[in-house]
Structure 1
Amino acid sequence: MNKTHQLFLLFLGLLLSAGCLSGCIKDDLSDCPINVDPDPDPDPDPDPDPTTGTLRLALTYTMHNTQEDDGTYVDLFSQQVRKVDVFVFDEAGHFVQQITEEAAPKFAENYTKEIELPGGNYQFVVWGNHYEDETDHNYDDEADLLNEGRMTLTQTARTTEIEMLTDSLFHGCTPQQVTVVNGEDQVVPIDLMKNRNDVRVVVRWREKGMTEGYCTRPEHAQGITATLIDNNTTHDFLNNIVDKQEVIYQPGRFPDWYNPYFHGEMEVYPTEQEHVYVADFSELRLMKDNADARLVIRNSEGTTVYDRALTGPNGLITLLEEYQTQEALDREDRYLIELLFECEHEDEPDEPDGPGTDEPDDPGTDEPDGPGTDPTPVPEDPWSAITITVNGWNLVEKPVEL
């Protein structure tokens, strides 16, 4: 090949190269080569799939009788609950964990308890104001399943005579299982119920034949003692009364600031009147059909003079139309029971005769009592109340004899 031919080929190559370069600088870049990485690196830090979900229990207390102007019930949770214990159970009903939180010093309005759990189905039970010096549960030792749970007054471990309670126990639960979804956040409402009832028993007397006023002799009030008998000291975790054991709630006295809650504003409260008997009690939940809940009054000799059911078919409370449903009983946490009994007083004895006016009996005229003639004490007849008033509602048990 001669030199001229070689120069021609070189010139032709330069022309072809120039054509390729001109194609890459056009607006249409489709002719340009694309640099493709044959093996791109994967995302070095991918987000892992969530393994838990968040549940917010919105706790309220509206199961009472305090209403707003529009008729809705006021949420009193932050005013009356100072501690919550949440018990978590899995789909099979097994106890998972207990979560406790105390207010400092009170829970916020619209309080929610946040719980993080692995995805699954759960049931939640909430106890409010559960303190170990007054109530005790059995998930620390023997219980595992939801239906085995018990909440019991600690006093029953040592006695059947129950002194005044210091705290108001609350209960609430989810009515069915709740599904927790991993990565999701949900709110579940739980409205609590107060399991404590405050009962004040006020007893007065009126002289037989009188239609108004009260007897002011203090010996009546000084000669009796009232107690409440019930079997409601143990509840399961769905708030049913179980393991029934009869106990005696002993009388005490609420503080003076509590008087207006029972009586309204008064110049002189019954607690300040010596001729009026007043006994205060705090006991657990009253059940509509429980005829074993009773008010018992004994005289100074220990004889029962009044024994009347509080609930059940003939209960002092449940005979009233206002308290013939369980919801009505659960909404009412304060009961004022006022009883009025008749009394009779013998006329004042005549003045004794002057000295020396009694003539002695002839000697030997007294006949000794025969064997077995000592008088036998006659038991006192049970009392019947003239009127019974419960929270201002009247029952007439015995008509007044005029």
Structure 2
Amino acid sequence: MKKTLKNIFRFAAGAILPAIAAILCLSSCEDIQEDLEPCPSGLKLSFVYDYNMEFANAFPSQVDCLTLFVYDAEGNYVTTRTAGKEQTSDKDWRMTIDLPGGHYRLLAYGGMNCDDASFTFASDPAKTSFSNLEVFLHPSLITEPVGKYLHPLFYGRLDITVPEISTGYKEATVSMMRDTNDIRILLANENGVPIDASDFVFSITDNNTRFNSLNEIISTENVSYRPWAKGNSVMGVNPDGTESLVAWAELSVPRFMVSSDARLNVSRQDGTPVLSLPLIDVLCLYKSQRYANMANQEFLDRENTWNMTFFLTGQGVWAGVSIIINDWVVRINNSEL
């Protein structure tokens, strides 16, 4: 009998004590009779960028400024918060926002409020609803014949509810993705004959300069992206002792979509075509069988650094292409595309 009573008391204590602790915690910031401050209501947010091929959080090292917009359940603008590199580079940093109970839609952009931002808003975000917010590449960065490096752009979105009765800030994580790509193109002669970058014109054409609040591309018109840097490098020494000189060009391009008609074009200065390839098809060929179940769009979004090497014949047309990313290689013959 004593043992039974002891078990009953032990069970009762186990059920009651946590409830008492919760009540005490609640009363500690809401007991009006003791004139204590009300419990804080709102969000404590962390930001993560692990939507990459390393599947590792690179937010502190890659995102150097942050803009967060808060909208209510109907998509009406509520408030804005910003952070600089001092905050974003700290892996323990959290963004705290005071908000009353209710449902909210959060939009986060990395790289928009930096001094060298490449993208801007189509209208004043404080006067724009969630569904009407648009981001576009600044026209001054679409230049010919010399392109510009695009400051990395990151995007994140989260729908969340703040409790009507609060016991403190609600913690949540906003996951980010990158919307810019870095492409490095190498031209080499298969016979080791030197190649001069100044003899070639490099470009990528695509329709991807404008985004809506869901990070979808808004169709406008095709634009031509040109290299922001190009030059020559020594790849090795030929059997006759001469240096094998290759040409390279670096381009910076916004988000690639699997449905786009993006093309990579290389020609000689006189306009003679060297190659013209369906860029998205070529890039998707790289995807390893380890990621066979990964959709092509996810692959294009996770990867953002692309190195492509093209081998030219003695006649100056391309003989094949080697796409090299993170030590993986895919080779294609001219006749395959």
Q: Which bracket does the TM-score occupy, shorter chain normalised?
A: 0.7 to 0.9
Q: Percent identity?
A: 22
What's the counterpart of residue 250 of structure 1? Answer: 226
Which residue number in structure 1 is paired with residue 303 of structure 2? Answer: 332
Residue 217 of structure 1 corresponds to which residue in structure 2?
A: 194
**SS of residue matched to 1:108:** coil
Q: How many Å separate the matches in 2 of 1:254 and 1:106?
A: 32
The match for 1:178 among 161, 164, 167 is 161
1:265-276 paired onto structure 2 within 5 Å:
275-276=245-246
Q: CA–CA distance in 2 between the matches of 1:177 and 1:105?
A: 23
> What CA deviation, in whole Å up to 9, does each residue of 1:127-149 have, x standing for no partner?
01113652111341796221211
How far apart are the structure 2 equivalents of 1:112 and 1:255?
43
CA distance in 1 between partners of 2:247 and 2:93 (Å): 42
Distance 1:246 1:142 in 2: 30
* 1:227-266 alignment runs, 5 A limit: 227-253=203-229
> Which residue identity does 1:288 align to in structure 2?
V
**How many residues of Structure 1 are paired with residues of Structure 2 in the alignment?**
291
Report the Cα offset of residue 310 of structure 1. Answer: 0.9
Relative distance call for 1:327 and 1:155 in structure 2 (3 A) is same
Q: Is the 8 A contact 1:91 1:122 kept in 2?
A: yes
Which residue of 71, 75, 80 corresponds with 2:62?
80
- Residue matched to 1:4: none
Q: Could you tell me whether the CA contact under 8 Å between 2:200 and 2:269 is conserved in 1?
A: yes
**CA distance in 2 between partners of 1:387 and 1:101 (Å):** 42
The normalised TM-score by structure 2 is 0.75
- Counterpart of 1:57 in structure 2 is 45
Q: Deviations over 1:300-349 (max 9, x none)?
A: 112433211111xxx2112334386222221211000111121149xxxx
| Larger helix share, 1 or 2 | 2
Provide the rounded CA distance (Å) in 2 between the counterparts of 1:386 and 1:93: 50
Residues of 1 paired with 2:301 and 2:231: CA distance? 23
**Shift in alpha-carbon separation, 1:99–1:168, aligned structure 2, 3 A:** same
Contact 2:104 2:161 in 1 (8 A): yes
CA RMSD in angstroms comes to 3.4
SS at match of 2:322: strand
Runs (5+) with no aligned partner, structure 2: 1-30, 238-242, 289-293
SS of residue paired to 1:316? helix
Partner of 2:323: 389
SS of the residue 2:204 aligns to: strand
Residue 302 of structure 1 aligns to a residue whose secondary structure is coil
Q: Counterpart in 2 of 1:289?
A: 259
The corresponding residue for 1:379 is: none
- Match for 1:279 among 240, 249, 252? 249
Name the aligned partner's letter for residue 205 of structure 2.
Answer: I
Larger radius of gyration: 1
Cα distance change of structure 1 residues 344 and 104 upon mapping to structure 2, 3 Å threshold:
closer
Quick check: 1:341–1:387 contact (8 Å CA) kept in 2? no
Q: Is the 8 A contact 2:53 2:303 kept in 1?
A: yes
> Comparing both structures, which one devotes a greater share of its residues to strand?
2
Q: What 5-or-longer segments of structure 1 have no aligned partner?
A: 1-42, 67-72, 207-213, 260-265, 346-382
Counterpart of 1:279, as a letter, is A
Alignment match, 2:269: 300
